[in-house]
Each structure stands twice: as structure tokens, then as C-alpha cells.
Amino acid sequence: MQKGFTLIELLIVIAIVVILMTATLVALNPFRQIAQANNANRMAGINAILNAVSQRIAENRGKFPPVGNETPTNCPTTGDVLPTTETIIGSKTDEGQFDLAQYVVPDYIAQIPVDPQYGYYKSATDYDTGGTNKGYSIKCEDGRVTICAKGTQLIPGIVDQAFCVSR
């Protein structure tokens, strides 16, 4: 009597293992899990930014005053400096970004949150929340501040929606 398995038996076991591994991978869907984790991080980030802005406005009795010689936009009230058009938050003011850190770091938030996929934060003077089409943006209109996270992941590979929160 011979000991061991035949080639057919080994192939059947390997096929069963491959089928089980494929089913497990499909059920777990790691790409979807990562997308959901990134989106949760984005929601936490925009809420943290909005809380910091709201705290500064509350502490200054409804105003968001300049810290230097910025041009007032009169939002939320006369003499304030929040952008009235949707503007990406970042330190590259020469590229049209709004440097929010100078107003809220470190008094209201430790550092500006950045997009988990596209952003970077080196310091309060060198950060980018994610670039032109994928970063966090800020807008003040009719006294309401809106923070948006662009470049969210609904389905892996499809990046075309934004999460927005207003106060």
C-alpha cells in the first residue's frame, strides 16, 4: 500500500482553497474598506476645521477678524476675511489657497487636517489639504461658513463627489 496523495486529490484541495480565498477576498473587499476609512477621516477633518473656525468666530463675538493686512471680504460680518468663493485651504496663498492655519493654529486646533490620500502637513506654514480638486475648501456666504472635502471615494477609482458641512 502506498502512502501519500494522488495528483487529482492535491488539485482538488488546491482548487477548494483558491475558491475559499477568492470568496473571502470578495466578502472583505479591502478597497471598499480603505475608501470608507478615508471618507470617515475626511468627515472628521471637515468637522474639526469647522469647529475651529466656529470657535474663533464665537470668541471674537461673531467676527473672523484679520491677523495682518489681509483684504476684508466682509464675511461673516463687515471687516472679516473668510473667502466668499470656494477656496482650497492650504499655505500656498500665491496659488490662491486660503491659509487658515494662521487664524486657528494652535489656539483652536493643533494642526489643519489634510486629505488622507492627497494632502500633506509639514508645519503650520507648509501644508496642503489636497490640491486644487481634491483638498478641503472653505467658503463663507450670507454669514454661513461651509467646509467641503473634495475627492471623496464612493467607489474605488471614482473620485467626483464632495462632503460639505455648513454652520
Task: Please state the domain extents for the chain.
Answer: 30-166
pLDDT of residue 158: 59
Q: Tell me the three cell numbers of residue 143.
A: 454669514
What is the pLDDT confidence band of residue 28, given thresholds at 50, 70 and 90? confident
pLDDT digits (tens, 9 = 90+) for 94-103: 889 999 999 9
Q: At 139, phi and psi to the nearest 5?
A: -155, 140
As to burial, measured by CB atoms within 10 angstroms (0-12 exposed, 13-18 middle, 19+ buried), residue 124 is: middle
**What pLDDT shows up at residue 102?**
94
